[in-house]
Chain A
């Protein structure tokens, strides 16, 4: 091969290489799924020391979440028609399990916990197979579906005071509150989810919804937003947004709220708990609550002062 030929061959190789390489370089990375690619919002989440990035959750969301929650996050995935309750519509940015007051956005941690905990009595499984980083990425991704996350901050987390000891009195007072606050209207007198208003309940998308049945399940029974006493406390203070369950934050005092938690535990008749132990030790019957004088501490000190004077 002479020099001239070598040059010509080299030119040909170059031209061939350019032909092959150019179309690949000119195309974007192929998109997965039926929808055209959309520019990704650079959303982050912050859970402790972990920072989640929306872009890192894209593939996992499509693989594990979109089937129910939909590619667009609107709760209209292809499985949604078969599900009851329906998958969450992330475009509404209304969430059930929050540590924040009703009508506000949840914290990143609230969403992170929900993914890891799953939602009992629904098709949302416990996604604890994902790493903390992956769950944080999901949280960031979920926040791309509603513009509220750019305009609003998460609500203020509610304050939960230290839990007082469980006594038969606290259970008895809790039962009185359950009656007074009319929890039984939906949840039923025995907490079986069969109260007089239960049959007509609908969620905010007009789908029928059942009130929680406390009596079902044993030691493995879970409540919607966590199983610890603090999480039970939280649920009726924050309310379960998007459902008929309202917030009782304005109408119940912190210590009264703890008494209510203690009573609710006794409704879980087959679940082992300190509340059920206390109830058993007291003979298995909740005594009628005797209303204390509302000015009891003041009158007591008065009495003492009067006694001291005599």
Chain B
């Protein structure tokens, strides 16, 4: 097919601003109802961890902020943005004070995951996937970081069998258009070229919700997600 030069110029002129600035989808994640109270964790069996916490910590299955904000929700583009570029930067997952930091790690399929043991005790890192392969590795104190990756998109529970209260999630996505909510509950997915997108919000206990959004140009579309709190 022959395309005239002016035609290409017009195409570049229309596409480039969108590629450089693009549209943005942003919003807030909240909950309705009363979330179940998180349980306090007794680290008495692991004094080296217990002494790192001035006040006892609780489980992190449901973490909320002021004004019904729901934290640790992964908001990502599940359809519309084919994104096969694997970020070259590794994502770090740290075991500190017998807790996972962060509690939910988001990474691209094939992206490197660095697992750090910052504690004075052994941990075993035991992801429990169903699509990817299950493995289980020991990481005593002072040992080098583990370098891992996952090939298939999946929300994977990870635990330490030695310290059964440790439970985190690996959110393996096939997109790098994602955002994870913090104490403001806000999320933002910038740099989106015009197109139709499916936005998914995932929470480890409350499941997933999706919304379709169409971006026509250099605009910001606002969408919100609201999860119903489980009573148990």
Q: What is the CB-to-nearest-CB distance from A110 to chain B, in angstroms, rounded to a whole number?
A: 16
Set of chain B residues within 8 Å of A180, measured between Cβ atoms = 140
Interface contact B161-A250, CB-CB below 8 Å:
no
Partner of A204, one of B124, B128, B140, B143: B128
Q: Is the CB of B140 within 8 A of A251?
A: yes
Tell which of A27-35, A157-165, A195-203 binds the partner: A195-203
Contact A94 B134 (CB under 8 A): yes
The verdict on A73 contacting chain B, using a C-beta distance below 8 Å, is no
B136 interfacial by beta-carbon distance below 8 Å: yes
Candidate in B125, B138, B164 with the most chain A CB atoms within 10 angstroms: B138
- Answer whether residue A189 sits at the interface, using C-beta atoms and an 8 A cutoff: no
User: Bound state CA distance, A163 and B138, in angstroms?
Assistant: 23
Chain B neighbourhood of A251, CB < 8 A: 138-140, 143
**B-side contacts of A245, CB under 8 Å:** 136
A246-B124 contact in complex given A197-B45, A241-B136, C-beta closer than 8 Å: yes
Residue A244 interfacial (CB < 8 Å): yes
Residues in A whose Cβ lies below 8 Å from that of B138: 181, 239, 246-248, 250-251
Cβ A102 vs Cβ B135 within 8 A: yes
Of the candidates A102, A182, A202, A244, the one whose C-beta lies within 8 Å of that of B140 is: A182
The answer to whether A182 touches B122 (Cβ under 8 A) is yes
Residues of A within 8 A of B136 (CB): 102-103, 239, 241, 243-247
- Chain B 117-149: CB-based contact to A (< 8 A → 1; otherwise 0): 000011011101010011111111001101000
Q: Which residues of B contact A250 (CB under 8 A)?
A: 137-139, 143-144, 146
Q: How many residues of A contact B (CB 8 A)?
A: 28
Among B124, B130, B134, contact of A242 (Cβ-Cβ < 8 Å) = B134
Does A104 interact with chain B (Cβ within 8 Å)?
Answer: yes
Q: Give complex CA distance A242, B138 in Å.
A: 14
State the Cβ distance, A101 to closest chain B Cβ, in Å: 8
For the complex, give the distance between the alpha carbons of A249 and B134 in Å: 16
Asked whether A185 is an interface residue with its Cβ less than 8 Å from the other chain, the reply is: yes
A197 to B164, CA, bound (A): 8
Chain B binding site: helix, strand, loop or mixed by DSSP?
loop
In the complex, chain A residues whose CB is within 8 Å of the CB of B161: 186, 197, 201-202, 244, 246
B103 in contact (CB, < 8 A): no
Residues of A within 8 A of B121 (CB): 182
State A215–B52 Cα separation when bound (angstroms): 35
Whether, in the assembled complex, B20 has its beta carbon less than 8 Å from a beta carbon of chain A, the answer is no
CB-CB under 8 A from A239, the residues of chain B are: 135-138
How many residues of B are in contact with the other chain, CB < 8 A? 23
Q: Does B96 contact A (CB under 8 A)?
A: no
Please determine whether B140 and A200 come into contact, CB atoms closer than 8 angstroms.
no
- Also in contact, A103 and B126, with CB within 8 A (given A182-B140, A251-B140): no
Q: Tell me if B163 is interfacial: C-beta within 8 Å of chain A.
A: yes
Which of chain A's residues 193-233 have a Cβ closer than 8 Å to chain B? 196-197, 200-202, 204
Q: Which residue of A lies closest to B121 (CB)?
A: A182
- Cα–Cα distance between A209 and B231 once the two chains are bound (Å): 30
A185 touches B162 (CB 8 A): yes
Residues of B within 8 A of A181 (CB): 122, 138, 140
Closest B residue to A93 by beta carbon equals B133
Contact in complex: A182, B137 (CB < 8 Å): no
- Interchain CA distance A251-B140 in the complex, whole Å: 7
**Would you give the shortest CB distance from B124 to chain A, in whole angstroms?**
4
Q: Please determine whether A197 and B135 come into contact, CB atoms closer than 8 angstroms.
A: no
A200-B122 contact in complex given A103-B134, A242-B134, A247-B136, C-beta closer than 8 Å: no
Closest B residue, CB atoms, query A181:
B140
Contact of A103 among B133, B143, B144 (CB under 8 A): B133
Chain A residue numbers with a CB within 8 Å of B45 are 196-197
Q: Which residues from chain A contact B126 at a C-beta distance below 8 Å? A: 244, 246
Binary per-residue interface labels of chain A (233-268) against chain B in the complex, 1 for a CB within 8 Å, 0 otherwise? 000000101111111111100000000000000000
A residues near B144, Cβ cutoff 8 Å: 250
Q: Identify which of residues 149-195 in chain A touch chain B, using a CB-to-CB cut-off of 8 Å.
A: 180-182, 185-186
Instruction: Please name the residue on chain A nearest to B46 by beta carbon.
Output: A196
Residues of A within 8 A of B130 (CB): 92
Q: What is the minimal beta-carbon distance from B152 to any residue of chain A, in angstroms?
A: 11
Among B134, B136, B146, chain A packs the most CB atoms within 10 A around the CB of B136
- Can you spell out 11 A-B residue pairs with CB atoms less than 8 angstroms apart? A92-B130, A245-B136, A246-B124, A246-B138, A247-B137, A248-B138, A250-B139, A250-B143, A250-B144, A250-B146, A251-B139
Assuming A250-B143, A250-B146, what are 16 further A-B pairs, CB within 8 angstroms?
A: A94-B134, A103-B135, A185-B122, A196-B45, A197-B45, A197-B162, A197-B163, A197-B164, A239-B135, A241-B135, A246-B126, A247-B135, A247-B136, A250-B137, A250-B138, A251-B138
Interface, chain A (partner B; CB < 8 A): 92, 94, 102-104, 180-182, 185-186, 196-197, 200-202, 204, 239, 241-251
Nearest 7 CB-CB pairings of A with B: A103-B135, A244-B161, A246-B124, A182-B122, A246-B138, A200-B164, A246-B136
